[in-house]
Amino acid sequence: MTEEERASEDGDRSLADRTTPWRARETGAGGGLTGRLVRRFAWLDAPLFALILGSTAVVVVGGLVQVSMGSYEMTIGQAWAAVFNPNVLFDPQAWDAFLLGEAVPEMRTESLIVWNIRLPRVLVAVLVGMNLAVSGAIFQAVTRNELASPFILGVSSGAGLAILLTLVAFAGVTLVVPLVVTEITLGLSALLPVIAAIGGIAAFLLVYAIAWKNGTSPVRLVLAGVIVSTVFGSLQTAMFFFADNIGVVQSAIQWTTGSLTGVDWEQVRIAIPWTVFGLALAILSDRQLNVLLLGESTAKSLGMRVERARFGLSAVAVLLAAASIAVAGIVSFVGLIVPHVVRNVVGSDYRKLLIGCLFAGPALMVAADVGARLALRPTQIPVGIVTGLVGGPYFLYLMRRQENLGEI
């Protein structure tokens, strides 16, 4: 069969398609530096760009609402003026206070409230949204299951159990850290963020150990995650049973449903290093994630050490999830829905998907936190309740619309 015959049979094959080399097509007329730039940012296509713009708009509007509303009333104009107050924005001393935890310099009441109380809450929401969305996206590639979430490998149950143990069983225990000149005494509850993160990571390692048998497989990892979550979940419930006052229970619930109430710059400081580190690693690993999607045997025959990649990527995802647990508790559904929404818009290519998650995650988180803070004013509800209320119906909608939900 000649080339032409085959062409006519396949119909849509044009001569131009066959003869134009792709370099020319992809870079347009300009070669050299512009060509390379165009190629480098070829992933930024129209759907992704629209997603980024839309998400940024949601974050800005949500942030604006958050900083202007609350028990100290101010107009949107006042709040905005406070946000862009040059005396704060360009004051190195203020940034020292925010980012390094030194004393906050003198400033006007509006500025103080906006910068010291309301803005950090928005920032933490942004960081948590990014972390959870990217973490979920990674786990979906690692398990090759679109319904995987950051907490699928037991992270949430481990963190939850660690929190309850701390609050209920070891409430009175204090930790004495000897220093050279003095020693500091810490109540264990002051270390709650760290303990939560450690609990999550420990559960993840336990899941991996259970799943390991001459290597792992996505299915065995998920099953091991279910096993560990079930057992730890029961233990959590048992701890609730033994809690002797309602305050402890409420505080534990805040942690296990995820809440941004009362966060300030300290939470920003806790989350930022891990976030930057983890997100950079994730985005640099986009090709590994894409190759993992091709299935284990293909990935292996392409020269990937699948087991190592799977563990490394899971570790990055757990790190991101743990960082968000440490500052906001266990916020459900964000890591599940956001990658899903983004995938529907930009497709399954992980470069685009991860970049999209960096913007869409914060959008959902900030919007949900507006609801959590303002829906039942003056009572604040944990933000995790709002994300769950939004997430459930979204999945119902997907289930009705899509035949084969779950396949990437």
Partner 1 sequence: MGERGFATDGGVGSTLGGDDDGDGTDDSPATDSDGGGASEFGGEDIVVGYPNADEPVVDGESIRVPPGEVTALVGPNGSGKSTLLKGLADQLSLDRGTVRVDGTEVHELGAKRLARKLGLLSQDNAAPNSITVEKLVAHGRYPHRGAFESLSDADRDAIDRAISMAGVDHLRDREVGSLSGGQQQLAWIAMALAQETDVLLLDEPTTFLDLRHQLQVMEIVERLRDESETTVVLVLHDIEQAAQYADHVVALEDGAICARGSPESVVTEGLLADVFGIDAAVTRTDHGPQVTPLRALGDGDGGNETGESDGAEE
Of 135, 397, 120, 364, the C-alpha closest to 260 is 120
Separation between Cα atoms, residue 164 and residue 179, nearest integer Å: 29
| Contacts (CB under 8 A) with partner 1, residues 303-342 | 303-305
- Nearest distance, CB of residue 137 and partner 1, angstroms: 13
- Nearest distance, CB of residue 147 and partner 1, angstroms: 15
- Nearest distance, CB of residue 7 and partner 1, angstroms: 7
> Counting contacts by CB under 8 A, is residue 377 touching partner 1?
no
Residue from 17, 45, 102, 106 touching partner 1 (CB under 8 A): that is: 17
Put residue 333 in one of left, alpha, beta given phi > 0 → left and psi -120 to 50 → alpha. left
Nearer to partner 1, 121 or 144 (CB): 144
Nearer to partner 1, 261 or 348 (CB): 348
Q: Are residues 331 and 383 in contact, defined by beta-carbon separation less than 8 angstroms?
A: yes
> What does the block give as tokens for 212?
């390991």
b vs e for 311-321, b when ≥16 Cβ sit within 10 Å of the residue's Cβ?
eebbbbbbbbb
- Nearest distance, CB of residue 69 and partner 1, angstroms: 40
| Contacts (CB under 8 A) with partner 1, residues 263-292 | 284, 287, 290-291
Compute how many residues bind partner 1; rule: CB under 8 A: 36
What number of other Cβ atoms are within 10 A of residue 338's Cβ?
31
Of 123, 96, 61, the C-alpha closest to 327 is 123
Q: Are residues 276 and 99 in contact, defined by beta-carbon separation less than 8 angstroms?
A: no
- Nearest distance, CB of residue 291 and partner 1, angstroms: 6
Nearer to partner 1, 125 or 291 (CB): 291
Nearer to partner 1, 196 or 336 (CB): 336
Q: Are residues 364 and 383 in contact, defined by beta-carbon separation less than 8 angstroms?
A: no
Q: Are residues 398 and 340 in contact, defined by beta-carbon separation less than 8 angstroms?
A: yes
Residue from 2, 4, 18, 241 touching partner 1 (CB under 8 A): that is: 18
* Per-residue contact flags (x/-) with partner 1 for residues 19 to 48, judged by CB under 8 A: --xxx---------------xx--------
Residue from 71, 75, 297, 379 touching partner 1 (CB under 8 A): that is: 297
Separation between Cα atoms, residue 262 and residue 266, nearest integer Å: 11
What number of other Cβ atoms are within 10 A of residue 394's Cβ?
14
> Counting contacts by CB under 8 A, is residue 13 touching partner 1?
yes
Judge residue 360's burial from the number of C-beta atoms within 10 Å of its C-beta, 0-12 exposed, 13-18 middle, 19 or more buried.
Answer: buried
Nearer to partner 1, 31 or 101 (CB): 31
Nearer to partner 1, 261 or 290 (CB): 290
Which residue ranges make up the site for partner 1 (CB under 8 A)? 6-7, 10, 12-14, 17-18, 21-23, 39-40, 144, 213-214, 284, 287, 290-291, 293-295, 297-298, 300-305, 347-349, 407-408
